Amino acid sequence: MGELENLISIHDLDRKTIDHILDTAAKMETVAVKRTKDLDSKIMAVLFFEPSTRTRLSFESAMLRLGGSVLGFAEAGVSSAGGKGETLADTIRTVERYADIIVIRHPLDGSAKVAAEFSSIPVINAGSGSEEHPTQALLDLYSIRKMKGKIDGLSISLCGDLKYGRTVHSLGMGLCHYDVKIKLAAPQSLRMKPAIIKHMEKAGVDVIEVESVEEAVKDVDVIYTTRIQKERFPDAREYEKVKDRFRITSDDLDLMQEDTIILHPLPRMDELDSDIDNTPHAKYFDQVYNGVILRMAILKLILD
């Protein structure tokens, strides 16, 4: 098989491996446009126990551009695992007979790891529980490197729901391998878990915490903002207050450096005003395309 065996957690990757993945992604830029038949004979199974159009279609687009084909399901209801109570282990030991690689999205923490333990074919974690979303972290790193030319030396704001957002957890872990300054901007109730902050500091990252968007957007090269979900708040009024305070609008543009870029894992709601879309700061839709590129690299490294 390929150079990578599985992709389950950002924690499994050292800097050398991450850099190699990002270098491979850079080589995929032309392949993504021209298309290839390199994975012509390969079948990718997408097992989405939790719906996610974006991530699923991104993986499918990556596989199709490499010439491969796709089977699977887009929501648990259509599968035995949903309707008939089959264990994840049994589902995996079944699906591994249908495909050459499994891409799994599952609501439970640790599910992708379990899948990899039972699978004789490679497994990619496309989001598990609230902890892990390694391909999102890698595409975020790739976006930063592509757009800013480097990651080392940058100052990066992580903004919004830092408590429950799995993308921001995985990205935070990935950034620990680089010489960066991180500003954490979240409402009191949605602050980054102390364990992750400690991990960052131990890795030598310069971390500060702030509590407003104004502070978040100042003096940074990258603003990475995430959705604040209403269902996380016990009190609806508390949500309304927070929501309005953690909203980036065109009013905040003056506070930013001229070359600050704004990233967002999408979908976005109110936290990122559409006024910003047509400014040179807005890079979140280009980031979507980088997801295809990065996933092509992962598929290539695992399957080729």
CA separation (Å) from 276 to 118, 160, 205, 219, 246? 46, 17, 29, 18, 15
Q: How far is the CB of 271 from its own copies (least distance, A)?
A: 12
Cβ atoms of 126 and 246 closer than 8 Å: no
- Give the span between the Cα atoms of 282 and 34, in whole angstroms: 26
Q: Which of 5, 23, 86, 259 binds its own copies (CB under 8 A)?
A: 86
Is 249 a residue that touches its own copies (CB under 8 A)?
no
Give yes or no: 133 in active site: yes
Alpha-helical segments (H) within 66-210: 80-83, 88-95, 111-118, 134-148, 166-175, 194-202
Q: 19: buried, middle or exposed (CB in 10 Å: 19+, 13-18, 0-12)?
A: middle
Q: Please report, as residue ranges, which positions from 268 to 287 form the binding site for its own copies (by CB under 8 A).
A: 268-269, 274, 285
Crossing angle of helices 194-202/166-175, nearest 10°?
20
Is 221 a residue that touches its own copies (CB under 8 A)?
no
Is 99 a residue that touches its own copies (CB under 8 A)?
yes
Is 70 a residue that touches its own copies (CB under 8 A)?
yes
Extract the tokens encoding 258: 């001229």
Extract the tokens encoding 235: 């009190």
Q: Which is nearer to its own copies, 10 or 99 (CB)?
A: 99
Give yes or no: 230 in active site: no
Q: Which is nearer to its own copies, 255 or 288 (CB)?
A: 288
- Give the span between the Cα atoms of 127 and 107, in whole angstroms: 8
Q: How far is the CB of 78 from its own copies (least distance, A)?
A: 5
Q: Which is nearer to its own copies, 147 or 255 (CB)?
A: 147
Is 61 a residue that touches its own copies (CB under 8 A)?
yes
Which residues form the catalytic set?
54-55, 84, 105, 133
Binding site for its own copies (CB under 8 A): 34-35, 40-41, 43, 45, 51-54, 57-58, 60-61, 64-65, 69-75, 77-81, 83-87, 89-91, 93-95, 97-99, 266-269, 274, 285, 288-289, 291-292
